[in-house]
Structure 1
Amino acid sequence: MNKLLILLASIFLLPIETKAPNSHSAFRDGEWFQFRIHYGIFNASYATLSVNETTLKGKDVYHVVGKGSTTGLARMFFKVDDNYESYFDKEKLIPYKFIRQIDEGGYTKDLEINFNHEQDKATVFNHKHNRTTTINTPDGIQDLISAFYYLRNSYDFSNFKIGQEVDLELLYDDDEIFNFKLRFLGWETLNTKFGKVRCLKFRPYVQSGRIFKEKESVTLWVSDDKNRVPVRIQADLIIGSLKADLNAFKGLKHQFKIQLD
């Protein structure tokens, strides 16, 4: 689930020159995605993302919850139970609170991050180790989930140039800010369970050697419509390969475009 969310955030890293503030709203309260994740020949897990409106300390926010867990035979070999939550401003789409609770084959984390955008600082509570860390943050900092929704909602895709590379700064751990680089590859129509979907295609640069086979081991597709729905992710790993497909959805704000033959 952790790797999937990192890649989903990376899908929408667009250049500042193409930004069109408040051009439209790509999502709304009640939106829900489910992804089916395959590891090699195994249906390894499912991951979901859900959006709900609420309040946090008197502020109107979106509360997004991301969950993932292994299923079936894969769970016998590698148990995964992940929970991610983000509370971000409904208008500015900046994060106020981020929760990361993961158990991946015995590797666990239990973090809570509170963002202070006025002071450009974030306070990270590591509940597992009973440790508190303060990190200086740049303007525009996002957490792992809020970035996905902020960039879906705030950028114009029409001016993309093939080969364009961009960066984004994220904070989702208690040690440092993470920088991601992404390259736009063009357009491609995918055959999905819903029909043929025209997509924007991306290649994020990832760290090779620990999980991914090469720096350019990952490919991502997102629907070329007003929803900007993540449709597919593929990755070559050190051992085997991973593929995540959109399996179900509801509550989209705009029509999900399917191409007719």
Structure 2
Amino acid sequence: MFTLFNRRRTLLALPLLLGGAALGLTAFAPNESPRSVRNESFGRGEVVKYKVHYGLITAAEATIEVDDAIQRINDRPCYKATVTGRTNGSFDLFLKVRDTWRSYIDTTSILPQKFFRNIEENSYRKKETVDFDHQRDVVEVESRKKDKDPKRSTHKVPDNVQDLVSGFYFLRTLDFSHRKVGEQIKVQGFFDDEVFDMTVTYKGRQNVETKAGTVRAIRLTPRMPKNKLFRGEDAISVYLSDDKNKIPVLFEAEMFVGSVKVDMYKYNGLKHPLALTKN
């Protein structure tokens, strides 16, 4: 288990990698720039906290939050959205993780202007900055690993491409009220020097249990390519609250090493009441 998690570096990134498979949606026509996305779901000061469970063990905690202040990047007003996570308890003894992922998200287009990662996992260290140019549809990446010179590269990307963090927030702006069970949403995004394509299937609505209470939720399943980590194409389920917030409240994954659940336990700063059925 240690070798797999250390090589894949996934345990703490699960809130992103599980949901990230369902992110980066490009639902607009090419060359429609700058686009304007109606956002009634989130704003400044929102904080959601999660516990990561590996079987019966609480292995890690993660936080997804939007800063109180609007930032200005590339002369555009942006939300500063940050995901942080850390292993805890006995997991720290063999897989110590302290990760930060951050996106500066244009308040009008919900597109990323800049993406940042700081990865600290055991002795592994990596810092990465991605600058997005949506006019030219290119990204510039600067990456530095422990004790090594930085590497720089430029990549061509699709129109309106998302990073993983901004993809979470863009997904929340979509209207699911008239979608049919089995309906698919095409996905594109940029991560780890590559453009990825994925298909997300809308699975309907159901109540889910979280540590913050029982929540009415929308279930999405991203189709996974064959890999050595997740078991089957529909191994991941992502649950968004079935309300105007559409916050991610639960992630579930069937992995070859066992089941993993990322469970919301605390939240504040939501724009609308959460769709709780009972506390």
> How high is the TM-score relative to the length of structure 1?
0.90
1:147 paired residue number: 167
Q: Does 1:117 align with 2:162?
A: no
Describe the superposition over 1:45-67 as per-residue Cα deviations: whole angstroms up to 9, x where unpaired: 00111102222243211111111
Report the AA paired with residue 192 of structure 2: D
C-alpha distance in structure 1 between counterparts of 2:213 and 2:227, whole Å? 36
Report the AA paired with residue 30 of structure 1: G
2:113, 2:131 within 8 Å by CA — same for their partners in 1? yes
C-alpha distance in structure 2 between counterparts of 1:14 and 1:143, whole Å? 10
2:120 paired residue number: 103
Report the AA paired with residue 46 of structure 1: E
Describe the superposition over 1:160-208 as per-residue Cα deviations: whole angstroms up to 9, x where unpaired: 111112221111212x201122111111112333332111112112234
How far off is 1:10 after superposition? 4.0
C-alpha distance in structure 2 between counterparts of 1:104 and 1:45, whole Å? 13
Relative to structure 1, the CA distance from residue 235 to residue 85 in structure 2 (aligned partners, 3 Å threshold; closer, same or farther) is same
SS class of match (1:235): strand
C-alpha distance in structure 2 between counterparts of 1:69 and 1:9, whole Å? 18
How far off is 1:130 after superposition? 1.5
Q: Does 1:197 align with 2:215?
A: yes
**Matched residues, number:** 256
2:104 paired residue number: 87
How far off is 1:44 after superposition? 0.3
Which of residues 40, 44, 51 in structure 2 aligns to 1:29? 44
Gaps of 5+ in 1: none
C-alpha distance in structure 2 between counterparts of 1:22 and 1:143, whole Å? 16
How far off is 1:103 after superposition? 2.7
1:4 paired residue number: 15
SS class of match (2:19): helix
C-alpha distance in structure 2 between counterparts of 1:126 and 1:35, whole Å? 28
1:54 paired residue number: 71
C-alpha distance in structure 2 between counterparts of 1:231 and 1:58, whole Å? 33
Which of residues 226, 247, 251 in structure 1 aligns to 2:265? 247
Percentage of identical aligned residues = 32
Alignment of 1:174-253 (within 5 A): 174=193, 176-253=194-271
1:13, 1:167 within 8 Å by CA — same for their partners in 2? no
C-alpha distance in structure 2 between counterparts of 1:103 and 1:24, whole Å? 33
1:163 paired residue number: 182
1:111, 1:173 within 8 Å by CA — same for their partners in 2? no
Query: Aligned-residue CA RMSD in angstroms?
Result: 2.1
2:22, 2:198 within 8 Å by CA — same for their partners in 1? no
Which of residues 83, 98, 113 in structure 2 aligns to 1:66? 83
How far off is 1:77 after superposition? 2.1
Describe the superposition over 1:85-141 as per-residue Cα deviations: whole angstroms up to 9, x where unpaired: 111211111111101121334444321100111111100111225211100011110
Describe the superposition over 1:12-69 as per-residue Cα deviations: whole angstroms up to 9, x where unpaired: 677949xxx7554100100011110001121000011110222224321111111111
SS class of match (1:145): helix
C-alpha distance in structure 1 between counterparts of 2:274 and 2:127, whole Å? 36
C-alpha distance in structure 1 between counterparts of 2:100 and 2:137, whole Å? 26
C-alpha distance in structure 1 between counterparts of 2:43 and 2:168, whole Å? 14
Which of residues 137, 141, 153 in structure 1 aligns to 2:157? 137
C-alpha distance in structure 2 between counterparts of 1:242 and 1:88, whole Å? 29
1:98, 1:172 within 8 Å by CA — same for their partners in 2? no
Relative to structure 1, the CA distance from residue 22 to residue 111 in structure 2 (aligned partners, 3 Å threshold; closer, same or farther) is closer
Report the AA paired with residue 189 of structure 1: N
C-alpha distance in structure 2 between counterparts of 1:107 and 1:246, whole Å? 28
1:83, 1:101 within 8 Å by CA — same for their partners in 2? yes
SS class of match (2:191): coil
Relative to structure 1, the CA distance from residue 108 to residue 180 in structure 2 (aligned partners, 3 Å threshold; closer, same or farther) is farther
C-alpha distance in structure 2 between counterparts of 1:117 and 1:13, whole Å? 14
Relative to structure 1, the CA distance from residue 11 to residue 222 in structure 2 (aligned partners, 3 Å threshold; closer, same or farther) is farther
